[in-house]
């Protein structure tokens, strides 16, 4: 069997054994249900499907929670194995460093995807059953939310692997990972909004705004959840900004894919050059 597939299976087994999938899925499901029931209580009066309102709340929740979970999964994926001395043992087998990187990343991505899909999917079913039965037409934006959340998690997994491949100690990796999470999730958008308010459209034109948004995977995630769903954008906190940003879904998907591929390629390059 391909050594990469063996390593993927090992990471998935470890994740299941350590209850990572169950813990993340339960956490996401409970938070999604809480937000869903609190935000969907008045939807019966205004004829809005509960999933429509819930997508907006979950988008804001996912921007904070999914990247943090991804960082916790990946920040010590390389440096932790080196510190424990297990990386030398692993590389004594017929497996290359790029295969180690690919196997560990794919295993963690499967764990994250299972947790997000199960947690949000079960919460969505419960919400629809609680508010009048299943409506397949309302699942388009919600399915996009789940897919976009997995892509967002994959982007931060890649960033976590890059950090883990570059630093020498686990504690340093943990500190940098939290700093990167805080900057991309909180500080970046606060800075962008502040600059937009001060600029008043004089310097920052639409192409420049597009470029600024594409430089942050969380903003790409926000816009992905708004694209093509007018009723979602109406309730979203980014609706005003998305009205100025006319990026297509294909462009946003490409940008999020690059946020996954480029950091992971840099991490693989750094790991290949690293002495153990």
pLDDT digits (tens, 9 = 90+) for 91-149: 888 889 999 999 999 999 999 999 999 888 888 788 777 766 666 766 777 888 899 99
| Calculated CA dihedral for residues 211, 214, 216, 221, nearest 10 degrees | 150
Q: What pLDDT score does 163 carry? A: 97
Say how many C-beta atoms besides its own lie within 10 A of residue 155's C-beta. 29
Query: Distance (Å, rounded) from C-alpha 143 to C-alpha 78?
Result: 32
Say how many C-beta atoms besides its own lie within 10 A of residue 241's C-beta. 19
Going by C-alpha positions, the residue among 116, 106, 147 that lies closest to residue 20 is 116
pLDDT digits (tens, 9 = 90+) for 195-251: 888 888 788 888 888 889 899 999 999 888 866 555 555 444 444 444 555 678 889
**In sequence order, what E strands does the chain have?**
none
pLDDT digits (tens, 9 = 90+) for 64-99: 999 999 999 999 999 999 998 889 888 888 889 999
Q: What pLDDT score does 223 carry? A: 86
Query: Distance (Å, rounded) from C-alpha 74 to C-alpha 77?
Result: 5
User: For the packed helices 249-273 and 217-226, what is the interaxial angle rounded to 10 degrees?
Assistant: 150
Both tokens of 91, joined, read: 């590389």
- pLDDT category of residue 32 using cuts at 50, 70 and 90: confident
């Amino acid at each position: 069997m391909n050594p990469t597939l063996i390593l993927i299976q090992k990471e998935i087994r470890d994740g299941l054994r350590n209850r990572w999938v169950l813990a993340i899925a339960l956490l996401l499901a409970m938070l999604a249900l809480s937000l869903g029931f609190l935000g969907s209580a008045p939807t019966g009066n205004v004829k809005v499907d509960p999933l429509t309102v819930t997508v907006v709340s979950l988008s804001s929740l996912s921007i904070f929670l999914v990247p943090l979970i991804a960082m916790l999964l990946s920040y010590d994926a390389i440096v932790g194995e080196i510190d424990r001395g297990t990386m030398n043992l692993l590389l004594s087998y017929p497996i290359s460093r790029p295969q180690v990187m690919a196997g560990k990343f794919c295993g963690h991505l499967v764990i994250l995807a299972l947790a997000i899909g199960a947690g949000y999917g079960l919460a969505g079913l419960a919400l629809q059953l609680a508010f009048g039965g299943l409506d397949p037409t309302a699942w388009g934006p919600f399915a996009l939310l789940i897919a976009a959340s997995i892509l967002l998690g994959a982007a931060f997994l890649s960033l976590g692997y890059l950090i883990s491949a570059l630093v020498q100690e686990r504690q340093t990796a943990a500190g940098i990972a939290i700093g990167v999470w805080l900057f991309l999730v909180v500080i970046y958008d606060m800075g962008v909004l502040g600059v937009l308010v001060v600029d008043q459209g004089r310097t920052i034109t639409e192409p420049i705004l597009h470029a600024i948004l594409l430089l942050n995977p969380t903003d790409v995630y926000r816009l992905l959840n708004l694209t093509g769903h007018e009723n979602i954008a109406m309730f979203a906190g980014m609706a005003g900004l998305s009205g100025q940003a006319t990026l297509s879904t294909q462009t946003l998907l490409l940008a999020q894919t690059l946020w996954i591929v480029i950091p992971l390629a840099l991490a693989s390059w750094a790991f290949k050059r690293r002495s153990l």
